[in-house]
Structure 1
Amino acid sequence: MTRERRRKPAEILPRAFRETYFSLFSGPEPETLHADLYRMLIDEGTDVIVQQLKEYNRRRRRLLSRIRGKIEVRRLKRDEKIAGLQVVASDAGNNGVDLRSAFIPLYASTALTAKGWNIIDEPIFRAGKPDVWADEFRTQQRESLLAFKIQCEVTEEAVERWDPDLVLIDGSLLLNFWLLPPPDSTKDYIRNFQEALLSSVGLLHYCYERGIPIVGFVKRTRINHICKKFRVPKLRDTALMDLILRLGEYTLPEDEPMKGRIVNSYRKKAEELGIPNREIVEFTSIYSSYIRTGLTTPFRLEIPEYCLDQLEKISTLIFTTSEEENGIPFSISEADRLTKVTTNISNIRTLMIYSKALDLVRKGEMNMHDLNLLALQHGEPWALNDGEYVSNLLGGEQVA
C-alpha cells in the first residue's frame, strides 16, 4: 500500500476543502477583540446609541402631538364569517451559498389555500433552477429577484386553480427598488429582472381581470413616507404607527399611491403587453395602510387601487386570523413555515454537493485537487454540526 493510500481520507483532501469541513467540528471562535476596542464598541458605543434612541423617541412623540387627528384610524372587530373566506397565500425563501469559485443559488416558493385556520388543499411548491453563478457580483439581489419571480408564478397558478376570495402575498406587491439593475449589471441579471417584472405584472393583472383583491403583507419595512410628509424624514413610519395604532386598528390609505422608478417600470411593461391604460393605473397604483394585528409593532399593507373599497373586509380577515403574539395571519404564517430556506437546509444542500463531488473523484471523473472549487468563501459560516454525516462522507473508500 502506498504512503498516499495509508493516509486518512481527510488528509488526502485539499487544504481549502479540509478547512471547510473541519469548521464543522471546531468549537466557537475565541473572543480575540482587544480590550480597548471592546470598551469603545460595547461600553462607550452603547451609551451613545442609547442617547440617540432617547432623542429618536422624543422626535416621534413630538411628531405625534403635532399630527394627532391628521391620520385616520379605523377600529376592527374579529369576524369569524369573514375569516372563513377562501384565501390564497404565498411566500418565497432564498439562502444560497457563496463558494470561493462561484455562488450557488437556493430559492423556492409555496402557495397554499386556506379558510380560517385550515389549509384545505395540497399546497403548490416551486423550486428554483439549480445553477452555478461564476460571474455574478450581485448574487443576493439576483437570487431575490428569482425568488420573487417564482413566487408570482406559483401564486398565479394557485389563483387559477382555487379561485379564492383574496390573495395574500408575504412581502411587497412590487419589486424592491434596490433590485433595479445598475448600469454595470450582467446580462443575466437584467434578463432575470425583466422576467420577474413580467411575472409580477402578469399576477397583478390576472387578479385584476378576475376581480380578486390582492394584498401585500409587509413584515419588514423601512419606509418613512408618512414621516417625511410631516417633515420628519429621519423617522420610520412603523415607529410612529407604534404610538398611534392599538390592537385591532388600521389606518386609511395615504392620499397618493407609491411612485418612483419601480412603478414606472411596471407601467412600461404593462404598456408593452398591450394592457389598456385605465387598467394599468388601477392595478399599478399601490397604496399603503398600517395595521396592528398583534403585540408587535404594526405591519404595512400594500393594496392596489381597484381593491381599496374592500380594505375593511381584508383588514378584518387579516386581524381575525392573526396570532396575537406575533400578529401574523394564519395563511401567511403557514406559507412562511413551508417555504423557509434556513441556513441548516442550505448547509445540508452544500454537504450533499460535496458528497456527490467525492463520488465523482472516486469514479475518476474529477481530480482530488478539483474539490477546491467547493471550498466556502472565506468567512462564510456553517450553522450545521452533524459530525456523523460528515464522517460518513469522508470515511468511505480511500482514494489513491
Structure 2
Amino acid sequence: MEPRKEERFRRIPQPFREEFLQPLTVHDHETIHPDLYRHLIDEGTDIIIEGLRRYNENRKRIISRVREKIDIRSVEKNETFSSLRVVASDAGNNGVDLRSAFIPLYASVALTAEGWRIPDEPIFIAGKPELWTDEFKAGDREALLAFKIQAEVTIRAVEKWSPKFVFFDGPLLLSSWIRPVRDSSPGYIKDFNETLDSIISLIHACYVRDVPIIGFAKRVRAVSLCRSLGVEGMRDTALLDLVLKMGEYTVPNKLTGGLLGEYEKSAKRLGISTQEIREILIFYSSYIRTGFRTPYRLELPCYCIDRLSDAAVILYTTSEEDGIPFSINEADRMVRVTTGISNIRTLMIYSKALELVNAGKMDPEDLNMLTLQHGEPWSLRDEDYIEFKEVG
C-alpha cells in the first residue's frame, strides 16, 4: 500500500473499523448479572405464566356472558369464485440509525392474483434514498412513507389490472398516534399530509371504479369490540379466538376516532365532493377467522360493505393454515425488508465510504459519523427467516 494511503487508513476511527468487521466475526453472547437474570427470566416468567393462566380463565368466563351478543356470519370455500382477479399490496421498512443521521429504507409492492396463481409481474416502488439529520420521529416518518408508497403502487395496480377486489395489507384508517405533534419537523408534517392524500386517492380510485377495497390487518391490538360489549382489559382478537370458527366473521362495526378528521381535510384538499366523502370516509371493521391462528381484522369503507361476504369467501378459500391469504402472503414475502437486508445495505454504505477515503475524497475521521447508534441491531441474516431444505 502506498505510504499516503497507509497513513490515511491508519487514521480510520477504531469504532468504525470494529463495526465494519463485526458481521464477519463471532462474538460471545452478552450476559447480564445472575441475580438480574433470575428476576427477569426465572421468577419473571413464573409470574407471567400465572397472569396468563388467570387471563384465560377470565376470558372463558366472559365469553359465556357475551357470546350471544356477537353477531356472526359464515362463508364456505369456493375455488371457482375465488379465481376472480384481485390486487394485493404490502410495504416494508427497516431503516438504520447512525450517529449522524437516520437513513430510511422502505419499499412497496402490488401484484395481481387469480386464486392461487399470479398471472403477471408485480409492480414495485422503492423508497427515496435520503438522510434525515434532524428527525426525532424517524421510525414513524419511515412507516408513514411506506404506507404512502403502498397506496401509490396500489393505485397503479388498480389502473393496470382492473381487479374485482383490492386487498391492502394493513389498516385503511391510520391510528392517531402517527399524527404530527407541535415539535414535528417540517419534513414529517409534509410526509404526513402526502400520505393521507395518497390513501384517500386510493380509496377514491377504487370507489369510482366500484371496486371493493379491504384492509387486512395482521397485527391487531384493538379493543373496541370488547369495550362495546362491556369487557375491559382484553383485546378483540383474544375474545374472538374463543368465538369464531373457520370461515366465520363478525358483522361490521362502525369505526370512530383515529384520523377521520384529518382524512376529511385531505379529501377536501383533493377536491372530492361532499357526497363522495360520505361514501368513502365512513369505515367499518370486521374480524374473520381464515386459519388456525387468532382472527384477523378487516377494514373497509361503507360503499363496499355489501360485498364483505364475497371478499370473505376469497380470503378464506385462498388462505394457508396460518390464515394469511395467498395474494397477501406473496406480497408480504416480496417486500419483506428484514434486518439482514437493512444491514447489507449499511455494509455497502461502509464499503463505498472506504472507497472515498481511499480516493482521498473523504477524511478517515468522517467515518466515525457512519457508526451505528448504540443498541442498533447488526446481523447479516434474520434467524426467523432461515429455510431448512429436506435432504434428498
1:91 matched to which residue of 2? 90
Deviation at 1:348, TM superposition (A): 1.1
Distance between the aligned counterparts of 1:183 and 1:58, measured in 2? Answer: 44
Alignment counterpart, residue 356 of structure 1, candidates 316, 332, 352: 352
Alignment counterpart, residue 264 of structure 1, candidates 258, 261, 264: 261
1:131 matched to which residue of 2? 130
Deviation at 1:210, TM superposition (A): 0.8
Report the 3-state secondary structure (helix = DSSP H, G, I; strand = E; otherwise coil) of the residue aligned with 2:284: strand
CA contact (8 A) 2:247 2:316 kept: yes
Distance between the aligned counterparts of 2:178 and 2:380, measured in 1? Answer: 30
CA contact (8 A) 2:89 2:168 kept: yes
Deviation at 1:72, TM superposition (A): 1.4
2:18 matched to which residue of 1? 19
Could you tell me which runs of 5 or more consecutive residues in structure 1 were left unpaired when the two chains were aligned: 386-400
The answer as to 2:172 corresponding to 1:176 is no
Structural mapping, 1:288-367, within 5 Å: 288-323=285-320, 325-367=321-363
Distance between the aligned counterparts of 2:190 and 2:74, measured in 1? Answer: 45
Identity among equivalent pairs (%): 56
Q: Deviations along 1:12-36, whole A, 9 cap, x unmatched?
A: 5211211212322343443431221
Distance between the aligned counterparts of 1:121 and 1:3, measured in 2? Answer: 56
Deviation at 1:57, TM superposition (A): 1.2
Deviation at 1:105, TM superposition (A): 0.3
1:110 matched to which residue of 2? 109
The answer as to 2:185 corresponding to 1:189 is no
Report the 3-state secondary structure (helix = DSSP H, G, I; strand = E; otherwise coil) of the residue aligned with 2:241: helix
Worse-superposed segment, 117-126 or 11-20: 11-20
Structural mapping, 1:208-247, within 5 Å: 208-247=207-246
Alignment counterpart, residue 380 of structure 1, candidates 376, 385, 389: 376
After superposition, the Cα gap between the structure-2 partners of 1:36 and 1:163, relative to the gap in structure 1 and judged at 3 Å, is same
Worse-superposed segment, 35-44 or 376-385: 376-385
CA contact (8 A) 2:69 2:229 kept: no
Q: Deviations along 1:152-187, whole A, 9 cap, x unmatched?
A: 000001101111000000111122322111111001
Distance between the aligned counterparts of 1:274 and 1:6, measured in 2? Answer: 62
1:74 matched to which residue of 2? 73
Deviation at 1:2, TM superposition (A): 8.2
Output the aligned Cα RMSD: 1.7
Alignment counterpart, residue 278 of structure 2, candidates 273, 276, 281: 281
1:145 matched to which residue of 2? 144
Deviation at 1:261, TM superposition (A): 4.4
Deviation at 1:91, TM superposition (A): 0.3
Deviation at 1:285, TM superposition (A): 1.1
Deviation at 1:68, TM superposition (A): 1.7
- Tell me the TM-score normalized by structure 1: 0.91
Aligned AA (2:226): C
Aligned AA (1:27): V
1:46 matched to which residue of 2? 45
After superposition, the Cα gap between the structure-2 partners of 1:264 and 1:5, relative to the gap in structure 1 and judged at 3 Å, is closer
Distance between the aligned counterparts of 1:204 and 1:30, measured in 2? Answer: 48
Deviation at 1:312, TM superposition (A): 0.8
Distance between the aligned counterparts of 2:305 and 2:258, measured in 1? Answer: 23
After superposition, the Cα gap between the structure-2 partners of 1:294 and 1:6, relative to the gap in structure 1 and judged at 3 Å, is same
Deviation at 1:6, TM superposition (A): 6.2
2:165 matched to which residue of 1? 166
Report the 3-state secondary structure (helix = DSSP H, G, I; strand = E; otherwise coil) of the residue aligned with 2:355: helix
2:248 matched to which residue of 1? 249
Could you tell me which runs of 5 or more consecutive residues in structure 2 were left unpaired when the two chains were aligned: 382-392
Aligned residues: 381
Q: Deviations along 1:259-293, whole A, 9 cap, x unmatched?
A: 11401110122123332222112211111111111
CA contact (8 A) 1:207 1:214 kept: yes
Distance between the aligned counterparts of 1:357 and 1:334, measured in 2? Answer: 35
Aligned AA (1:292): R
Distance between the aligned counterparts of 1:263 and 1:87, measured in 2? Answer: 27
Distance between the aligned counterparts of 2:21 and 2:163, measured in 1? Answer: 50
1:396 matched to which residue of 2? none
Distance between the aligned counterparts of 2:316 and 2:135, measured in 1? Answer: 41
After superposition, the Cα gap between the structure-2 partners of 1:8 and 1:261, relative to the gap in structure 1 and judged at 3 Å, is closer
Deviation at 1:86, TM superposition (A): 0.4
The answer as to 2:142 corresponding to 1:154 is no
1:122 matched to which residue of 2? 121
1:30 matched to which residue of 2? 29
Worse-superposed segment, 353-362 or 97-106: 353-362
Distance between the aligned counterparts of 2:5 and 2:172, measured in 1? Answer: 58
Report the 3-state secondary structure (helix = DSSP H, G, I; strand = E; otherwise coil) of the residue aligned with 2:80: helix
Aligned AA (2:323): G
Aligned AA (1:335): A
Aligned AA (2:290): T
CA contact (8 A) 1:4 1:12 kept: no
